[in-house]
């Protein structure tokens, strides 16, 4: 008989995409007394096979999960706006990868805004769906886009 265990779910609206989804759905099982984590890429493969021989690996994984869940929840709970969230993420993951990711997101938002596809929904949420179009940025007194 298999026993399923789910780690503490990550309370996030998943703005961090796949990583948030993975962390929100981490499950492992005990099958015939042995740890089992289904490999999401290769069905039938146990990603936790070494946990049975080396219990410290399971403890380290759970410790890693708890740290990353705390870091993400702390960043997502930040009330100081985007710059404060970015700083929290830099502390957790390092400046280079976070700066690169922020650059990509910023570029995508700029392109979407310039194409007229970025909208401001009720409550201030930026979206590509319903809402008022976000106008081009202009310097004060200048009629050309920034």
Q: Is the dihedral of CA 82, 87, 92, 96 positive or negative?
A: positive
The string of pLDDT tens digits covering residues 29-53 is: 888 889 988 887 788 889 889 999 9
Helix (H) or strand (E) holding 34: strand 34-36
Containing domain of residue 71, as a range? 2-93
The string of pLDDT tens digits covering residues 59-87 is: 998 888 888 888 888 887 788 888 888 89
Tell whether 88 is covered by a domain.
Answer: yes
Whether residue 27 contacts residue 4, with contact meaning beta carbons closer than 8 Å, is answered with yes
* Token duo for residue 6: 């789910």
Assign 119 a pLDDT band (cuts: 50, 70, 90): confident
Tell whether 113 is covered by a domain.
Answer: no
Q: Domains in the chain: how many in total?
A: 1
């Amino acid at each position: 008989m298999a026993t399923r265990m789910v780690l503490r779910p990550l309370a996030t609206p998943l703005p961090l995409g796949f990583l948030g989804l993975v962390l929100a759905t981490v499950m492992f099982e005990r099958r015939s007394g042995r740890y089992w984590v289904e490999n999401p890429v290769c069905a039938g493969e146990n990603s936790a096979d070494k946990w049975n021989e080396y219990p410290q690996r399971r403890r380290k994984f759970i410790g890693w999960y708890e740290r990353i869940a705390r870091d993400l929840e702390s960043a997502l709970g930040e009330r100081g706006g985007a710059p404060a969230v970015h700083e929290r993420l830099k502390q957790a993951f390092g400046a280079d990868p976070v700066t690169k990711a922020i650059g990509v997101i910023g570029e995508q938002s700029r392109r979407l805004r310039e194409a007229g596809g970025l909208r401001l929904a009720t409550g201030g949420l930026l979206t590509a769906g319903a809402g008022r179009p976000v106008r081009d940025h202009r310097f004060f007194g200048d009629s050309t886009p920034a």
